[in-house]
Amino acid sequence: MSDVWDAAAFKARVDDVLGAFLKEEGEHLAEIDDVLQPVAEQLQRAAGYGKRLRAAFCYWGWRTAGQPDSDALMRAAASMELVHAAAIVHDDLIDDSRLRHNQPTVHLALQESLAGRPGDRAAARDLALLIGDHLIALAGQLFATCGLPAAYLARARPLWADLARELIAGECLEILHTGARPDTEASLKVIRYKTAKYTVEHPLLIGSLLAGAAPDLRAGLSAYGLPLGEAFQLRDDLLGLFGEPEHTGKASLDDIRSHRPTALLAKTWQAALPAQRAELTEVLGRRDLEERHLARVRELMVALKAPEQVEEMIDTRVKEATRVLDGLDMPAHARRALSNLAHSATDRRY
Q: Is residue 65 part of a domain?
A: yes
Do 84 and 198 form a contact (C-beta atoms < 8 A)? yes
Non-local CB neighbours of 285 within 8 Å, separated by 6+ positions:
179, 257, 258, 259
**pTM for this entry:** 0.94
pLDDT value at residue 252: 74
209 domain-assigned: yes
Using CA atoms, how far apart are residues 46 and 40, in angstroms rounded to an integer? 10
CA dihedral 60, 80, 348, 244 (to 10 degrees): 170
**Domain contains 1:** no
149 lies in some domain: yes
Task: For residue 174, give the H/E element and its range.
Answer: helix 150-177
Do the domain assignments include residue 204?
Answer: yes
Q: Each residue of 72-89: pLDDT tens digit?
A: 999 999 999 999 999 999
Q: Rounded CA gap, 230 and 299, in Å?
A: 25
Domain that holds residue 263: 7-346
**Cβ pair 233, 198 in contact under 8 A:** no
Percent of the chain with pLDDT over 90: 80
In a domain, 186, yes or no: yes
Calculate the average pLDDT of the chain. 93
Indicate the number of domains in the chain.
Answer: 1
What's the confidence (pLDDT) of residue 113?
86
Query: pLDDT-derived band of residue 151, with 50, 70 and 90 as boundaries?
Result: very high
CATH number of the domain encompassing residue 299: 1.10.600.10
Whether the pLDDT of residue 26 is over 90: the answer is: yes
Sign of the dihedral defined by the CA atoms of residues 168, 259, 177, 347, in that order: positive
The CA–CA distances, whole Å, from 56 to 64, 82, 146, 202, 220 equal 12, 13, 16, 12, 17
286 pLDDT above the threshold of 90: no
**Domain-located, residue 2:** no
Q: How many CB atoms lie within 10 A of CB 193?
A: 20
Taking the C-alpha atoms of residue 95 and residue 102, their distance in angstroms, rounded to an integer, is 16
Task: Give the 3-state secondary structure of residue 286.
Answer: coil
> Do residues 267 and 306 touch, judged by C-beta distance below 8 A?
yes
Distance CA 46, CA 24 (A): 15
Residue 68 counted as domain residue: yes
Asked whether the predicted pLDDT for residue 1 surpasses 60, the reply is no
Residue 22 and residue 174 in contact, taking contact as beta carbons nearer than 8 Å: no
Average pLDDT rounded to a whole number, residues 176-197: 94
**In the chain, what percentage of residues exceed pLDDT 70?**
98
pLDDT at 58 over 70: yes
Under 8 Å between Cβ of 17 and 75:
yes
How far apart CA 30 and CA 36 sit, in angstroms, is 6
